[in-house]
Amino acid sequence: MIRTAARLADGREIIYFDEGDAPRDPAPDPRGLPPSATGSEMRFDPLLREWVVVASHRQGRTHLPPSDDCPLCPSSDGRRTEIPASSYDVVAFENRFPSLVADHGRVLEDVGELEHTRRVGAGRCEVLVFGSDHDASFVDLGPERAETVVEAWVDRTRELSALPGVEQVYCFENRGREIGVTLHHPHGQIYALPFVTPRTRRMLDSAAEYRARTGGDLFADVLHAEQKAGLRVVARTAHWTAFVPAAARWPVEVHLYPHRAVPDLPALTDDERRDLAGIYLDVLGRFDALYGAPLPYISAWHQAPVREGRDLARLHLELFSVRRAADKLKYLAGTESGMGVFISDVAPEAVAERLRAAAP
């Protein structure tokens, strides 16, 4: 794989990940783009002790354009997109409508909150495009392209983790109109966050409590228990196990764990990365085979924070869908949205059995 970095017309970085060994001469971006107008900020919720990002400039971002106006397709003589090249394999670039922005020292005044906690929403948001085929999905990529995406995740995690002020790197994908995607072209996103996310913080606290109480590794013991029971295991390879968690919150939910305890994607070996590409495609194929149609999903990589808890956290993927039947969606109602108490309509063991049977 060949990695080539360049700049877009407004100064944003773009990185090409090309399969093979032919070097790329990056095409220039001839668009006359003005600098991005961004005003992201963070406000601290003292009741839940969580940061909330306010990015009002995103209201005007691109929303479900027609396929002939997709900003993620390759550029052509008659149409210029976010990707200047006429062809590409995998591409990452800075989002034109980011939730987090570079901190240029902007001062935020007190707006009357309990404590003056407002901060610039400092960080970086990238788009990761999985391929040039507008109508494909990740499951359609094939092993070689999936491996290239994994390598891009590794590269961006390593690079973004080294930026000043970044505390956690989050790679994720939203697929499907039901999830709320704004672009149908197959892509994911990567956030370099200036704080440790609430979910990660809670997991670290749970892992620390478990270690103090039992002396064990919480993630390793969860994986061992799932492997031993086998009731909820969907797929297993030499290096990875995919299973429906015993306390699954979503109608279709699969967690993917490496057998070796590693903190993040860059810590995986070459064999583990190749194996990951294969089992991930397998699970995504089962998702789509479940109802005989593309399943809307969120794919969320949990990585250890950059500077803390790396001995407690464990890399893993959470993949889940809001579709609870072929013609029904799960909406977060009063208990879930108001109190955070999930109520599942189907037993996790039954979901695992159906996914095992839904081999693509």
> Using one digit for the tens of pLDDT, what is the confidence trace for 13-56?
999 999 988 889 999 999 998 877 667 899 999 999 999 999 87
The token duo for 341 is 């108490």
The answer to whether domain 2-196 and domain 199-357 are alike in fold is yes
User: What is the Cα–Cα distance from 77 to 72, expressed in whole angstroms?
Assistant: 15
Q: What is the pLDDT of residue 37?
A: 62
Residue-range domain boundaries for the chain: 2-196, 199-357
For 280-327, how does the pLDDT look when each residue is reduced to its tens digit (9 = 90+)?
Answer: 999 999 999 999 999 999 999 999 999 999 999 999 999 999 999 999
Residues 6+ apart with CB under 8 A from 240: 256, 257, 258, 259, 272, 275, 276, 279
Catalytic residue among 184, 187, 302, 316: 187
User: What is the Cα–Cα distance from 131 to 149, expressed in whole angstroms?
Assistant: 9
Please confirm, yes or no, whether 187 is among the known catalytic residues. yes
Which superfamily does CATH assign the domain made up of 2-196 to? Answer: HIT-like (3.30.428.10)
* SS3 state of residue 275: helix
State the average pLDDT over residues 53-78.
83
In residues, how long is the chain? 360
- Out of 3.90.1140.10, 3.40.1160.10, 3.30.428.10, 3.40.50.1000, which CATH number does the structure's domain 199-357 have? 3.30.428.10
